[in-house]
Copies of this chain bind each other. A is one copy, B any other.
């Protein structure tokens, strides 16, 4: 059972400004922004907080990020985009619906293990953040992520591999375990998020009840 510590997406992100290479200071500021959004939420983090943590002036910060909207794009949208890319790549490698659901949940747990601040920054900000087209993009990315899981479940119902459950509800059921995991799981604990997810997804696929008496 491996916990992949994933590097930043090697490809330039669609939401990043391709004309502006990522310098060391910019990376550092993004790390700080992620950390603060992850622990305090997007709405409760100010540009001043980020400047103070980075030990630079607000004017220097403005050179990189003129406002919080720019940070929303670089932190929240890029995080969701990476999640969608990583998980869809993992799912695409698998042949059966059961294996695709397993791959989806494992890749998501790996994201939580390897990019915890990005996950938390993305999900904390999801319910906050600006009410504009950037937020619409975030909602669209989250929808893409969730639809991918529903599709795996619907495929499994069609092939007869899964029981004829409500695929939307089954998606919520599986995502509950993941979303809640992000709230209680602490890095450096007894088990990685990946290891916890192995147990959860086995329970979800095969049930707690030993004797199959399908209800």
Residues of A within 8 A of B (CB): 98, 101, 153, 156, 160-163, 165-166, 169-170, 172-173, 175-177, 179-181, 183-184, 196, 199-200, 202-215
Q: How many copies does the complex hold?
A: 2
Q: What are 27 A-B interface contacts by the 8 Å CB criterion?
A: A98-B209, A160-B210, A161-B211, A162-B208, A163-B208, A163-B210, A165-B199, A166-B199, A172-B184, A172-B196, A175-B180, A176-B176, A176-B179, A176-B181, A177-B177, A179-B180, A202-B215, A203-B207, A204-B204, A205-B208, A205-B209, A206-B209, A206-B212, A206-B213, A206-B215, A207-B209, A210-B214
16 A-B pairs besides A204-B208, A212-B212 with CB distance below 8 A are: A101-B208, A160-B210, A161-B209, A162-B208, A165-B199, A166-B199, A169-B196, A169-B199, A172-B180, A176-B177, A176-B179, A203-B204, A203-B207, A205-B208, A205-B215, A206-B215
Among the interface residues A160, A163, A176, A181, which one has the most CB atoms of the partner chain B within 10 A? A176
Cα(A202)–Cα(B212), bound, Å: 12
CB <8 Å contact, A200 and B173: yes
Question: What's the Cα separation between A162 and B207 when bound, in Å?
Answer: 9
**Top 7 closest A-B pairs, CB basis?**
A207-B207, A176-B180, A212-B212, A206-B207, A176-B177, A169-B199, A176-B176
Contact A210 B180 (CB under 8 A): no
A102's closest neighbor in chain B, by CB?
A: B215
A162: chain B residues at CB < 8 Å are: 208-210
Chain A interface main SS type: helix
Chain B residues with CB below 8 A from A177, complex form? 173, 176-177
Does B207 lie within 8 Å of A205, measured CB to CB? yes
Question: Closest CB of chain B to A148's CB: distance in Å?
Answer: 16
Contacts of A215 in B (CB 8 A): 202, 205-206
Q: Which residue of B lies closest to A101 (CB)?
A: B208
